[in-house]
Amino acid sequence: MMRQYELVERVQKYDPNADEDLLNRAYVYAMKAHGNQTRASGEAYFNHPLEVAAILVDMKLDAATIAAALLHDTVEDTEATHLELVEKFGPDIAALVDGLTKIKKLDMMTKEATQAENLRKLLLAMSRDIRVLLVKLADRLHNMRTLSHVKPEKRLRVAQETMEIYAPLAGRMGMQVVRDEMEDIAFAILNPTANKMIRERLERLHQESGDLLQGIELALSKSLAENQIVAEVKGREKRAYSIFRKMERKHLALDQLSDIFGFRVLVNNVDECYRALGVVHQKWLAVPGKFKDYISNSKQNDYRSLHTIVIGPHSQRVEMQIRTFEMHDIAERGVAAHALYKDISEAKQAEAGVRIPATESNAYRWLRHLMDVLQEGDSPKEFLEHTRLELFHDQVFCFTPKGQLIALPVGATPIDFAYAVHTSIGDSCVGCKINGRHATLVAKLQNGDEVVIIRSDAQTPPPAWEAIAVTGKAKAAIRRATRADIRKQYTGLGREMVEKLLARQGKEFSEKEMAIALPRVGHRNSDDAFAAVGRGDLVPADLLKAMGLVVDEKDAKASKRKSSKVRDLQEGQFSLPVRGAASNMALKIYPLTGAVPGERIVGIITPGEGITIYPIFAEALEQFDQEPERWVDLAWGVAEEGMRFPARLSITLMNEVGALGQVAQTIGEYGGNIDELTMQARHGVRDFFELRILLEVFDIRHLNEIMNGLRAKPLVNEINRVAG
């Protein structure tokens, strides 16, 4: 256990002006507060906050952050109170500790909802003070290091949460060292077989290629020195989880990976970065299309570097990363490193290749964007889903016609672009141009695309857009607009029903009488009351009675019958699931893809047979591009309760015992039904096989729940809808 004086000495080595008294008081207070508490490993509990503080000392954080690390569990796990921390350590440190304290009591909430609310609180706290995040990540990192001492069920849950939330969050904040260690530990727990296999392969490669790595280091160092470039060259192997991710992404077997080795070239300034790149490309053949310049266009987490892949000795593909020493520091420690450079002049920053914005970095800008999504008022489940989406996606960079840079996740569409510019632009979007040419709203945007959004004030976003959009902001805005549109329809229907009933009484609607009725029916305004009538929650005759009017018994009964029909419609008691087709036309769903309520559909007329329903992404639709007269614009109606619809899925599974059973069990747990199943080996890939499933589900949300549940399984490599 690190002694009190050792902690102070380590902090003062990089910060001679650190508040020694604060560190001493925090150390003593936390040690006394935790007293005789022990962890699952049997060691003294106080060792945990002390190790968290030590991790932050290695990051060279300020004394206040170190003190918060020592105190971070006192309010949650001891008799200490927030007020006591304010009195003894001041409001700033108390606020840091409060941001790290979990919400303990959440009445009638699921474990997932509790997780979401705790994450929501953490994100709000870190948006006010980024040091909350630094302490939280250090806390999670030490918990991961000691995870072997907890029960297997909890170990799996914590590892999964770390892989889904905290490791990507560290990556988004540029803290790559923290992310790497978290992912390595979590990967070994979640997929021990793959982890062991990859590590054994890496060990063999290391033994076989030790001289090769050293030879490349020496040759490159010599070439750089001959060109008067002072550089440090470091050879490295990719991590096990990084290799596994690439195998998943590119559907490769382990022995098919060719660029397992990489080198970092560290130089003094930006000019030398580009000069070093020239030396590398003169010495070895560059692989076409594999050069990326993250110096002129940094990543969202402020990462800056030059990347290239070359054909090295013995035809070995080798990745090269070229950056300045300061860029490397920020690449490793992210926002934790920014404090080192905040007092450097702009001229020296430019010379050293450091770019610390005066207002906010890319990482902070992303955090602010995430806060916008958080404020949309989504349910905890939706918030958690959208946070995961934002954390995991890599990026593409697109431009508005005026040159504004818009960063979006890979796979984003013009719909996501429109909402990224402004919510009102997304809501009124009816079409787009990409690089001057008209394109569909489902097109996937690429790096460098210039996007023009075509708008109409008469447009409202259709609900099917939610399945097309990728970003949490777009999904939340579409859902909100859909709710507003449905409410508007219910309000109009309710007003019409009330006014017709009044007309039968020979009366006109009066806002004054309505104001009297509102408290009696439990609504705040007229629109709320009319919407309740439209939904069938409030009988029109009851509203008129609340207004002090006498309603004929015959009219009251008719009113109740109409209200009942509206309620039946909302609850799914409606037989025709598709709108837009003539009533005498036979309907069938395209069997090679399936189609489910909630996603956008079109119909193709076949004379003598009727209409075939296709999902908008079906590849078969391309054959009808020259026959617009056969196209029918369809929309889903409300299906009968319990009615299921077909959807075909393609699932890539690891070739291991129990993989098929894991898929079937998961589908069953989510209430899906397997109607058809085929299995085949992936061509040229021994470690994976492909599963084709015809699934029966209620709607797109049900389908997405099943697909997300399958994605969470360690043996599932990839899952997609079959496009035909």
Report yes or no: 530 and 495 within 8 Å, Cβ to Cβ. Answer: yes
Say if residues 269 and 351 touch (Cβ distance below 8 Å): yes
Look up 77 and say whether it is catalytic.
yes
The torsion of the CA quartet 657, 658, 663, 666, rounded to 10 degrees, works out to -150
Contact 56, 177 (CB under 8 A): no
Alpha helices in 146-239 (DSSP H): 152-161, 167-172, 176-190, 192-226
Burial bucket for residue 142 (CB in 10 Å: 0-12, 13-18, 19+): buried
Q: What share of the chain is helix, strand, coil (3-state, %, to 5)?
A: 55, 15, 30
Please provide residue 87's backbone torsions phi and psi, each rounded to the nearest 5 degrees: -65, -40
- Backbone φ and ψ of 407, nearest 5°: -90, 130
3-state secondary structure of 497: helix
Checking phi first, is residue 455 left (phi over 0); if not, alpha (psi -120 to 50) or beta? beta
Phi, psi for 638 (deg, rounded to 5): -100, 120
Q: Are strands 451-455 and 587-589 parallel, antiparallel or unpaired?
A: unpaired
Strand partners, 612: 588, 604
CB 381 within 8 A of CB 388: no
Helix (H) or strand (E) holding 714: none
Nearest to 460 by CA among 430, 440, 489: 430
Distance between CA atoms of 662 and 202, rounded to whole angstroms? 29
CA–CA distance, 406 with 398 (Å, rounded to integer)? 5
What are 688's strand-pairing partners? 654
Contact (Cβ atoms closer than 8 angstroms) between residue 201 and residue 246 = no
3-class secondary-structure state, position 537: coil
Report the distance separating Cα 430 and Cα 332, nearest Å.
43
Task: Tell me how many degrees the CA angle 191-195-196 measures, rounded to the nearest 5.
Answer: 120
**From 76, 200, 609, 619, active-site residue:** 76
Beta bridge partners of 695: 647, 674
Contact status, residue 656 vs residue 592, Cβ threshold 8 Å: no
Q: Left (φ > 0), alpha (ψ -120 to 50) or beta: where does 634 sit?
A: beta
Adjacent-strand bridge partners of 41: none
Q: How far is CA 38 from the centre of its chain?
A: 36
Measured between alpha carbons, how far is residue 295 from residues 229, 264, 271, 643 in Å? 18, 15, 11, 54
d(CA 451, CA 470): 17
> Is residue 378 among the annotated active site residues?
no
Which residues participate in catalysis according to the annotation?
Answer: 76-77
